Amino acid sequence: MLTIFKDAAQMYPVTPQRPLTFLLPEAGGKKEVTIWIVATGLSGSTLTVTPVGSDQAQFPVMLRPGGQDWVAGAPYSFQLDGQSVIIALPISVSAAPGTRAQHDLLNLRVSAGSETATVSCRVIQANQDLSARFRALPSNRIIKSTLPGFLFGSHRWRDQDQVNGQEIVKTNWTIDPVAIGPEKFVAGIGYREDLELVGLQRGVVDKEGTVLNPHSVFPRIRHGFYFTGYQGYYLPSDDAVLEVVPTTGLQFTLPRKPAQLPVFVGTYRQDDNGYYDTDVSYRYLGAGVGTASGFDADDSGFQFLLNRSTRQVSLNREFTPTPVYAGLVPDAIEVTLNIPVYPVLEVVSIYLDTADVTCDHHSFDPVTNTIQIGRAHV
């Protein structure tokens, strides 16, 4: 089997919908990218990469296998020695001066044994405007013009007179990061001291005061924002407090006065890679936006208000919990399963196979977020 990827992590395959893109200026020039070819089960075969397509004459393709000199227009051959072989192949496309246009009649044919794959290529010849830094955020994070305070870029500071509201840095709220391509966003921190290393410590102390892994050294870092691509996250400090509340109420009181740090209201759900990502996220509106209820009537999503002095949290609406798939029950007397939603206040019921077959014997551990099922009662 042959598969071609845009990245070394093999997360973004080249497809006709997401072709390999070469962006060149109208003045002409050369653009180089690298593809990763994964050949599985083709040991002993000869892998060949050949440029094809009618646009090849206008945009010559050059291959540089193994860091060697560029080979103009010639096919690249490589002997596969192994059941799973990964090849990093740099590719260069040149363009003469031309007008703004997009060209899609250029491909790379990859073949080995009886397997054949096509690398769809796209050449865009266009001048790029002056580069500027911006952050693409979903539409539910847009700042409403009715909010009081001083606006700078995508942040707003409230002032006593609620004046001087002006936009200094233009923000584009209509950009879809997925349409741009997740592979074009890099990971990084939010600002300066976020996640900064402040020291090292031996072992980890749990809530009971027990030192775990006393012979291991762990880094101590600051709290702050970080990004894995276009997704943004916040790493809380050791002072973070988790409060699990029922989903049926619209108001509740925090156990203590929150510091001047972000307050998250919502739930997390486990993704296909085993990591937790935000599932239900309430939008923070501070003490309100000036309406009678304090909520934004133009936003139909989840919103919450926070009065830090009284520790009062108000929600605009409830969210309905949905059944989640916990996993397969193996042939064992007892089995422990992870719950893919966090946090969980209580487990109401467990279903086996279908909603009409319930399991009466189970226990829930809110600390590890797991349930234990007894097979004798299945």
**pLDDT confidence of residue 137:** 66
**pLDDT confidence of residue 378:** 41
**pLDDT confidence of residue 326:** 74
HEC letters along the chain: CEEEECCCCCCCECCCCCCEEEEECCCCEEEEEEEEEEEECCCCCEEEEEEECHHHCCCCEEECHHHCCCEECCCEEEECCCCEEEEEEEEEEEECCCCCEEEEEEEEEEEECCEEEEEEEEEEECCCCCCCCCCCCCHHHCCCCCCCCEEECCEEECCCCCCCCCCCCCCCCCCCHHHHCHHHCCCEECCCCCCCEEEEEEEEECCCCCEEEEEEEEEEECCEEEEECCEEEEECCCCCCCCCCCCCCCEEECCCCCCCCCCCCEEEEECCCCCEEEEEECEECCCCCCCCCCCCCCCCCCEEEEECCCCEEEECCCCCCCCCCCCCCCCCCEEEEECCEECCCCCCCCECCCCCCECCCEEEECCCCEEEEEHHHC
**pLDDT confidence of residue 260:** 65
The reported pTM is: 0.43
**pLDDT confidence of residue 262:** 73
**pLDDT confidence of residue 377:** 43
**pLDDT confidence of residue 273:** 67
Domains in the chain, please, with CATH?
2-125 (2.60.40.10), 136-173 (no CATH), 189-235 (no CATH), 251-315 (no CATH), 334-377 (no CATH)
Average pLDDT per consecutive 10 residues, the chain (378 residues; last block may be shorter): 87 88 87 88 86 83 74 77 83 87 86 88 81 67 61 57 54 77 85 84 76 83 82 73 76 79 81 74 83 85 88 87 72 75 78 64 78 62
**pLDDT confidence of residue 163:** 47
